[in-house]
Structure 1
Amino acid sequence: MEKNKFSTVMEKKDDIELIRITTSEKKYYQPEAIVAAKDELMKRNISASMYEDFTNKVEKLIEIEKETENKKLQVPLPKSIKIIAFIFPVLLFFIIGIGLMMFGYQKRGKELCKWTFFGCIFYFTIAMLIQLFF
């Protein structure tokens, strides 16, 4: 019988990694790698029933984590912060907005940058009008 090319790789992995490969992360691996991981689990006398419960818990945790990430993307910026960014448009607010976007708060970061930009345009327009009429 020919040895699976992934067998040596799977022999080096610990039990938890092998369980993840054969369950919750199955879609990220080639079929041969999954077979090699299952074979390695059998060599170690770890049966499917031993990690079935673990698999369900891991999948629930992954689902919760994804929901949390999706919620972070949609968190709006409070109106009070919008007003402050508009009245006091400083470069720091742009930096904070970009930081928020980097940490997953896409909507908040974009809104902070947008309202700071509106404030800059407002004061620029007022300055131009003052120069035109005075």
Structure 2
Amino acid sequence: MEKEESLFDRIGGMEAVDIAVTIFYDKVLTDTSVNHFFESIDMDTQAGKLKAFLAYAFGAPLNYSGKNMKDAHASMKITEEHFNAIAGHLIDTLRDINVKQDQIDEVIEIALSTKNDIVNS
């Protein structure tokens, strides 16, 4: 029986994740409703963390060794509005790189599974 291809592979692998993270942070950093969260952050390091997390979350054959979502966002006072803004930028980014809608739906399902760990205010 053939193993089903992972979402990671179906969206274009690490190349797609790299491009998506660059476009995503361009959108986030120009959004005044959320860019304050990144004012004192080394964005190269942050982009690397997000790439690793997304690749892992999308089913890449690698281990994620970063912080869990709850600990990583604990001190940030993130509201549902902040979460929704970030999710919207992710959706727009995936559309920009021509990810199919059913795959975007899978990504959003994964993102929503982290909401309770991220929204804390």
Q: Same fold (TM over 0.5)?
A: no
Task: Classify the TM-score, shorter chain.
Answer: under 0.3
- Which protein is bigger by CA-based radius of gyration? 1
Return the TM-score normalized by structure 1: 0.21
More helix by share: 1
- Of structures 1 and 2, the one with the larger relative CO (CA 8 A, separation 6+) is 2
Using structure 2 for the length normalisation, give the TM-score. 0.23
